[in-house]
Structure 1
Amino acid sequence: MSDLAKIPCSIVTGFLGAGKTTLLRHVLETAGNRRVAILINEFGDVGIDRDILEGCGIEGCSEDSIVELSNGCICCTVADDFVPALEGLLAMEKPPEHIVIETSGLALPKPLVQAFNWPAIASRVTVDGVIAVVDGPAVAAGRFADDTEALAAQRSEDSSIDHENPLEEVYEDQLLCADLIVLNKTDLMDEAARKTVADEIGRTVPREVKIVETEGARIDGSVLLGLGAAAEADLASRPSHHDAEGEHDHDDFETFVLDLPQVSTADEMIARIEAATGDHDILRVKGFLDIEGKPMRLLVQGVGSRIQQQFDRPWRPDETRQGRLVVIGQKGLDQAAITRSIAGE
C-alpha cells in the first residue's frame, strides 16, 4: 500500500509541562472538517489529559475519538497497548482521517516510530511527523543541562567522566527524533533567551529541522498536520541515546494522585501548590480543583514554580465534584509531606 493510502499519524512529544495537551486543543480547533482521533499516553495511574480534551467544547472531540493509555510509558508497552489501541481506531465505522498521538513527558519517541513498521499496522498507517514541544523558559533556565563550560573542562581533564543527566537524555532524544520543534512559552522569554535556546537546539539536532515559536502552544493545525515525513522509513537520521539498549525504564521518576476536598478560594490552594513545589522539587502538577461557590472546575497545570489556572468547563450533573491532582517528580518524593502541604494539614 502506498503512503498516500495510509492514515497519517502525528506524534507529539515533549518534556513534562511543555504544553502538549494545550497544543492538541489548538490543533483540534483548527482541523476543519477533518476527522481527527487522539491517542493519549499518561504517566501515572490516573489520566487527566483526556478530561482536559473532552472538556474543551470542540466539535468532534468526542469520547470515541479520544483513547487513553495509562498502563505505562507508550514506548515501553508497544505490543501490549499501543498497537491494539491503534487497531481499535482503524476498526471504527468511520476511521479517522488523521491520528494524533500525545506521548507522556517521559517517553522516548524513536521506539514508537519504530513500531509503525510492525506487520499488523505497517500497511495501514504512517508517521506523518514527530513534533517536539519545548518549554522555552525551563530550558533557558538550564532545567535539562548541566553547566556546559564546567562539564567541558572536566571532560578535557579526564575522558572517562560521564555527567549525562537522565532528564537531559530524554529531552535530547525527543529533539533528535523531531520533524518539527515547537519552542513554546516564548512570551515568557526575552529575545536573548529565545536565541540561546534556539541555538542550543540547533547544536543538538544534526539535521535541518524547523523551529516554530509559540505563545500558549497556539499553532494552527495546518502547520502540524500534513508534514509527510514517513518517519518510520527514516530511522537512521534520528539518533538516540538509547539506540544500543534493548529497552529502558523510568526508575528515576515517580508519580502519585492526590484527591482533594472542596476549597474556599483558588488563591489559597495555588499558594499551597507553589509552596509544595518549591519545598519538594516537584517537576509537574496537573489536575482539577473544586472551588466553593463556583459552577466550573478549575484546571491547574504547573511546571516547577509556574502554576497556571483557568476554569475550563462546568461540573457535569453526573460527576462527583472532587479535586484531583497528579504529582510527578524524581525518585524519592516525600508523598506524605507533599500531601500535608497541599492539603493544608
Structure 2
Amino acid sequence: MTKIILVTGFLGSGKTTFMKSLLDAYQDKKVGVIVNEFGEANVDAITLEKEGIIIEELTNGSIFCACIKDNFLHSLILLSEKDLEYVFIEASGLSDPSNIGQILETIKPRTVKPYFYKGAICIVDADSFLDLYDTLLALERQIQYSGAVIVNKADLVDQETIDETIEKIRLFNNNVPIYVTSYCVVDIQKIVENLIDTDETPRETSNTIDSRPKTFTLKSDTTLSYDNLVKFLNAISESTFRIKGFLETDKGQVLVDAVGNNVDIKPWDKKVDEHELVVISSVGMRIISLLTNQLDKHFNDQLYLV
C-alpha cells in the first residue's frame, strides 16, 4: 500500500520548509508529491522540485473544495499507478481537511495500488496563531484532524506565548503530540512513525467557493526596481494574509515570501518561467484600491494586476 501523509498549516507557517525536510528524510523511498496553492501560480512546487520525485501541482483553490476537488481525485488516481511508497500532500494554508476520509473512500475503486492514510501533520506559526485561531474555522479543523502538531517559529516569541499556543491547541485536539521548534527542525521520521489516529468522522468541509479568500495575481514582463518593490510590499502587506512569487529586479531575480507584515525577499538563481506574485487578501475586495494605488505609485504598469 502507498502511505499518504498530509501536511497542513496556515499561510506562512513553514509547510514548504517542512516538506523539503520531509523529502530529504525519505530520499531513499519512492515518493510522489501533491502541492496545492490558492493562487494561480504554484510557487511551492517550484521550490520543492527535486530529481526523481513526481510532483502534481493543483492551484487556484483548496483540494478539499468543490472548485478543484476533481483535480485532486485525478492526481491521487494517477499517482496510484506509479507504485509509490509514499505520497506527501502539501495542502494550501486555508484548507479544511475534514473530508479527507470521504475523498479517499471515493477513489478506492479506481486506484491501482491502494492507499493507506497515515495521517496529517499540522504546522502552527507560533508568532501568529493566537491572533488567528478563533477567527478561521479552517485553522481549527487542521488541528482537529492532525496526528501531530509542530509549533514552528518558536524563536520569534517568548515562552508565555508558546505555552498559551499549546493550551489553545489542546482545546481542539487534546491528545495530539506537539513538537516545539524553529525552522521546522525536528526528527521527521520519529514524528511520522508516531502519528496518532484522528477523528475521521465525515464532515462538510468549510472550504467552499463562497468562503474562498480573495486572491490576486500580479505579473511583470520586465526588470523592476528592487527598492520600489520593498516599498510596495511594505505598503500592502498589512492587508494580506500572504504574498508569494518570483520577480526580476535590478538586483537580480528574487523570491518574495511575505506573511502579514513579515516580508522576506531572497535571491533566486533557478530558472522561472513566469514572474508574478500571488496576493491573498485579508480584507476582501477592499484591497483592490490599495493595490491599484500602490502599483501606479511604484511601477507604472511594470507590475500589473491580471
Identify whether the pair has TM-score above 0.5, normalized to the shorter chain: yes
1:311 partner letter: P
The answer to whether the 8 A contact 1:269-1:342 is kept is no
Q: 2:88 aligns with which of 84, 89, 100?
A: 100
TM-score (norm 1): 0.77
Q: Does 1:199 align with 2:167?
A: yes
Partner of 1:28: 23
| Structure 1 gap ranges (5+) | 1-5, 146-164
Inter-partner Cα distance in structure 2 for 1:229 and 1:60:
30
Inter-partner Cα distance in structure 2 for 1:250 and 1:79:
11
Partner of 2:208: 249
Q: Following superposition, which runs of at least 4 residues in structure 1 exceed 6 angstroms of deviation?
A: none
Q: What displacement does 1:336 show?
A: 4.6
The answer to whether the 8 A contact 1:106-1:250 is kept is no
Question: Structure 1's 200 and 124: CA in aligned 2 closer, same or farther, altered over 3 A?
Answer: same
Q: What displacement does 1:323 show?
A: 3.2
1:341 partner letter: Q
| Structure 2 gap ranges (5+) | 300-306
Partner of 2:267: 311
2:149 partner letter: I
SS of the residue 2:249 aligns to: coil
The answer to whether the 8 A contact 1:28-1:221 is kept is no
2:180 partner letter: E
Deviations for 1:302-324, whole angstroms, at most 9, x for unmatched residues? 11101123224x243xx55x531
SS of the residue 1:74 aligns to: coil
The answer to whether the 8 A contact 2:247-2:275 is kept is yes
Count of matched residue positions in the alignment of Structure 1 and Structure 2: 292
Deviations for 1:134-191, whole angstroms, at most 9, x for unmatched residues? 1111013x2333xxxxxxxxxxxxxxxxxxx3x2x11111111110001111110111
Inter-partner Cα distance in structure 2 for 1:182 and 1:247:
23
Q: 1:60 aligns with which of 49, 52, 60?
A: 52
Partner of 1:149: none
Q: Does 1:81 align with 2:91?
A: no
CA RMSD of aligned residues (A): 2.5
Question: Structure 1's 13 and 246: CA in aligned 2 closer, same or farther, altered over 3 A?
Answer: closer
1:216 partner letter: Y
Q: Does 1:218 align with 2:185?
A: yes
SS of the residue 2:250 aligns to: coil
Q: Does 1:291 align with 2:253?
A: no
Q: 1:111 aligns with which of 94, 99, 105?
A: 99
Inter-partner Cα distance in structure 2 for 1:113 and 1:338:
39
Identity %: 27
Q: 1:19 aligns with which of 9, 14, 18?
A: 14
Q: What displacement does 1:199 show?
A: 1.1
Partner of 1:324: 276
